[in-house]
Amino acid sequence: MIATGSAFMDMANNLVYHNGNCGIAPWSTESRGRIINNIIIENGWKDEWVCPCVGIWNYGDWAKWEFSHNIVWNNREENYRAIWDQTEINGNLSVDPLFSDDSTFHLQPNSPAVDAGHPEIYDNDGTRSDIGPYGGPQGFQK
């Protein structure tokens, strides 16, 4: 996911998994946005293009980004490039999200992503949001 030009990118409750190079990159100092409740793991399996094989590559102005309650884990070269490690800041974690399988990516009941999302965002069952694609008001059906 790349934010170019003067784009506003609003990214919530996604799974960014197994992309060739980086998972997410603010790509311009004019771009800005919100990155909340996403799982960004195991990216960078293929060297190509200019993006490094990392989870988050800051190639913009980090001050213009809200970044909270994400799991960034096990990306090939490193989780963060050109930005300080966000682990333990604003609810961001660096842990295995404990999927039940690698096709539906449902969370195991003891997953650290359960009820660990932004506290002002709720799931359809009324609980605090889960991190990942099954969390939040527009989460996939479980």
Q: Does 99 bind Ca ion (CB under 5 A)?
A: no
CB of 41 vs Ca ion, minimal distance in Å: 19
CB of 88 vs Ca ion, minimal distance in Å: 21
Q: Does 123 bind Ca ion (CB under 5 A)?
A: yes
Q: Where are the beta strands (DSSP E) in the chain?
A: 2-3, 8-12, 15-17, 25-26, 32-36, 39-41, 54-57, 65-68, 71-73, 78-81
Tell me whether residue 64 or residue 106 sits nearer to Ca ion (CB atom): 106
CB of 58 vs Ca ion, minimal distance in Å: 29
Which position has the token pair 């309650």?
Answer: 69
Q: Does 115 bind Ca ion (CB under 5 A)?
A: yes
Q: Does 92 bind Ca ion (CB under 5 A)?
A: no
Q: How far apart are CA 120 and CA 103, in angstroms?
A: 29
Segment lying near Ca ion (by CB under 5 A), choices 31-39, 55-63, 76-84, 111-119 = 111-119
Q: How far apart are CA 142 and CA 54, in angstroms?
A: 29
Tell me whether residue 73 or residue 130 sits nearer to Ca ion (CB atom): 130
Q: Does 133 bind Ca ion (CB under 5 A)?
A: no
Whole-Å CA distances, 23 to 8, 28, 35, 45, 70 = 17, 16, 12, 11, 12
Token duo for residue 116: 């660990």
CB of 100 vs Ca ion, minimal distance in Å: 16
Residues interacting with Ca ion, by CB under 5 A?
115, 123, 127, 130
